[in-house]
């Protein structure tokens, strides 16, 4: 049983109540707690030493990343973050200076994004540091954007460039909060999520939730310089395009809009966010799964993340 199978089993039948608008399975939970014009977003995310960072990662960047990952999920609902609790589990002999710097990095990003840090706890994890962030946000009622709204014919967009995040970006990415809110305010975005496990895997979540398929134009996928460089320097590395589809931790936005809105959106985006690339990478089609189209043919992109040419 892998992680996804376990989650499917655990979330099959969860206790609910009248406050739940959207429960497990989207980027954030959405709750109606009675705020007249807003719904509440609720999210947790954890980073673990040896997995999401190493003992050599600068501590400020560890703290920054821990919060930024959660902020990216608030962005993925077109929301605004409000307040966070920080749980940090530590070996018994900890370096207080190191921990304080983790908080420095986290607090700096919180300040920048208007998030209050309202507490949390320290506990013991003898072998490694684990940081779990719980984050609240808000979204105007009816303006939350789920994964389940993609429609056949929609154009598929991604922000930024994909792949190779491990080289640097996973510690320094900018959660796309302003961009997502602007999208929600100005366009009818049908489905939205953030890319944490790689385009190939994450797009599948939109497709499954929306009961549709996708056709991706290979040449339109924005491949990062880092992914290209790695492929060039190391013949054993993934081809750059495969890296763009399967590397995790891009933390860019993936979304769909009706194809009639695509050109208007691209034009408006370039004026509003001239420094951040926006790419139309394909379209939503009937069926299921992902087809990758290049000049001469199209290939099914398989469930395990890598492209296998038939």
Sorted by sequence, the CB contacts under 8 Å of residue 203 that are 6+ apart come out as 156, 214, 216, 254, 290
- Minimum gap (Å) between residue 19 Cβ and a copy of itself: 6
| Residue ranges in the chain assigned as alpha helix (H) | 3-10, 59-75, 96-113, 177-186, 199-210, 225-233, 240-246, 262-272
Q: 54, 56, 126, 274: which one contacts a copy of itself (CB under 8 A)?
A: 126
- Segment lying near a copy of itself (by CB under 8 A), choices 134-142, 209-217, 251-259, 277-285: 134-142
Does 188 sit near a copy of itself (CB under 8 A)?
A: no
Does 136 sit near a copy of itself (CB under 8 A)?
A: yes
Q: Which residue has the tokens 């710097």?
A: 101
Q: 68, 110, 192, 226: which one contacts a copy of itself (CB under 8 A)?
A: 110
- Minimum gap (Å) between residue 155 Cβ and a copy of itself: 29
Site residues for a copy of itself, 43-82, by CB under 8 A, read 43-46, 48, 50-51, 82
The Cα–Cα gap between 138 and 153 comes to 30
Phi, psi dihedral angles at 290 (to 5 degrees): -115, 130
CA dihedral (283, 288, 292, 293) positive or negative: negative
User: Measured at the alpha carbon of residue 198, what is the angle toward residues 108 and 24, in degrees to the nearest 5?
Assistant: 75
Does 124 sit near a copy of itself (CB under 8 A)?
A: yes
Q: Which is nearer to a copy of itself, 65 or 283 (CB)?
A: 65
Q: How far is CA 241 from the centre of its chain?
A: 19
* Per-residue CA distances from 191 to 48, 136, 154, 262, 282 (Å): 30, 21, 10, 14, 14
Q: Which is nearer to a copy of itself, 19 or 188 (CB)?
A: 19
- Minimum gap (Å) between residue 35 Cβ and a copy of itself: 4
Q: Which is nearer to a copy of itself, 50 or 287 (CB)?
A: 50
Q: Which two tokens stand for residue 162?
A: 């994909």
Does 146 sit near a copy of itself (CB under 8 A)?
A: no
Does 115 sit near a copy of itself (CB under 8 A)?
A: yes
Q: Using CB under 8 A as the criterion, which residues of the chain lie in contact with a copy of itself when the complex forms?
A: 1, 3, 6-7, 9-11, 14-17, 19-20, 22-26, 28-29, 31, 33-38, 40, 42-46, 48, 50-51, 82-83, 85, 87, 89, 94, 96, 99-100, 103, 107, 110-111, 114-128, 130, 132, 134, 136, 138
């Amino acid at each position: 049983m892998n992680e996804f199978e376990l989650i499917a089993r655990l979330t099959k039948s969860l206790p609910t109540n009248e406050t739940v608008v959207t429960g497990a399975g989207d980027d954030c939970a959405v709750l109606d707690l009675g705020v007249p014009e807003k719904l509440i977003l609720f999210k947790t995310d954890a980073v673990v030493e040896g997995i999401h960072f190493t003992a050599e990662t600068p501590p400020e960047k560890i703290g920054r990343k821990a919060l930024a990952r959660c902020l990216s999920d608030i962005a993925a609902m077109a929301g605004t973050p409000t307040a966070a609790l920080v749980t940090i589990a530590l070996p018994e002999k900890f370096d207080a200076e190191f921990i304080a710097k983790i908080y420095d990095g986290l607090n700096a990003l919180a300040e920048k994004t208007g998030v209050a840090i309202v507490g949390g706890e320290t506990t013991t994890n003898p072998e490694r540091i684990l940081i779990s962030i719980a984050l609240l946000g808000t979204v105007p009622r009816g303006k939350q954007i789920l994964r389940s709204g993609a429609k056949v014919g929609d154009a598929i967009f991604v922000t930024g460039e994909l792949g190779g995040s491990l080289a640097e970006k996973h510690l320094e990415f900018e959660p796309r909060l302003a961009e997502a809110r602007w999208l929600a305010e100005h366009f009818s975005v049908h489905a939205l999520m953030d890319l944490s496990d790689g385009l190939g895997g994450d797009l599948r979540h939109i497709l499954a939730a929306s009961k549709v398929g996708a056709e991706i134009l290979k040449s339109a996928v924005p491949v990062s310089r880092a992914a290209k460089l790695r492929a060039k320097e190391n013949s054993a590395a993934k081809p750059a395009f495969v890296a763009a589809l399967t590397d995790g931790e891009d933390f860019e936005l993936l979304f769909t809009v009706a194809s009639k809105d695509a050109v208007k959106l691209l034009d408006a985006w370039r004026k509003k966010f001239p420094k951040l690339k926006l790419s139309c990478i394909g379209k939503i089609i009937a069926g299921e799964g992902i087809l990758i189209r290049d000049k001469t043919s199209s290939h099914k992109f398989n469930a395990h993340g890598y492209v296998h040419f038939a």
